[in-house]
Amino acid sequence: MYNKSFYNEILIDHNMNPIHKHDIENAVCKLDGVNPSCGDSLTLMLNIEDNIIKNGSFTGVGCAVSQASADIMLDLIIGKTVDEAKEITELFMKMIQGTATEEEIEQLEEAGALRDISHMPARVKCAVLSWRTLSEVLTKQLK
């Protein structure tokens, strides 16, 4: 009926019904990320104990790509160790750059729904906003 767009069910569902879009009171780590090309912004909140991401959430305004990407990211990293989260982030960035293998994309589970972004340069910044913010928290805020 319609031309095929890359908005698949996974992406649409995470955008319409995000699980992790809310505030966390007393979040240990909190960082704002801004996409300078459109002004969209996101606040990432994480509670990390004993090197494990116990809980996480995000708030902000953005397109479906940035919102779904943030929600999927939190699904993937909650319960993981900081090092595991860093590895997942690296894999995601590889997928967006179009250099990840099929096996690597499989490891990204639902985040694989964003693989087509590697052919959409205009949307890369939307997809990586939350991941870039996460990476900054994990590498700079945690010493």
Partner 1 sequence: MTNNNSFDAHREDFPIFSDLKDAYLDNAATSHKPYSVIEAEQTFYERYNSNPLRGFYPLSLEATNQVELARDKVRGFINAKSTKEIIFTKNATESINTAAFSFCTGNLKRGDKIVVAVTEHHSNMLPWRSAAKLIGADIEYLKCNNEGEFTAEEINRCIDERTKVVAVGIVSNVTGRTAPIDLIVQRAHQAGAVVFADGAQSVPHMKTDVQALDVDFLAFSGHKMLAAMGVGVLYGKEEILDKMPPFLTGGEMIDSVTLDEVTYAQLPSKFEAGTLNAAGIVSLGTAIDYYNSLDIEKIRQRELLLTKRAFEGLSAIPNVHIIGSSDHTDHAGILSFTVDGVHPHDVSEILSSDGICIRAGHHCAQPLLAHLGVYACSRASLMFYNTENEIDKFISSVSTIRQRMGYKDV
CB of 4 to partner 1, least distance (A): 7
Per-residue tokens: 61: 């305004």
Q: C-alpha angle 56/58/7, rounded to 5°?
A: 115
Which alpha helices (DSSP H) does the chain contain, by range? 9-16, 64-77, 82-96, 102-107, 124-136
Query: Based on CB atoms, which residue is closest to partner 1, 113 or 126?
Result: 126
CB of 5 to partner 1, least distance (A): 4
CB of 14 to partner 1, least distance (A): 10
What strands lie across the sheet with 29-34, from one edge to the other?
A: 29-34, 41-49, 52-61
CA gap 18, 66 in Å, rounded: 12
Name the residues that contact partner 1, by CB under 8 A.
2-7, 12-13, 15-16, 38-40, 61-65, 123, 126
CA gap 56, 26 in Å, rounded: 11
CB of 3 to partner 1, least distance (A): 5
Query: Based on CB atoms, which residue is closest to partner 1, 53 or 67?
Result: 67
4 and 100 in contact (C-beta within 8 Å)?
no
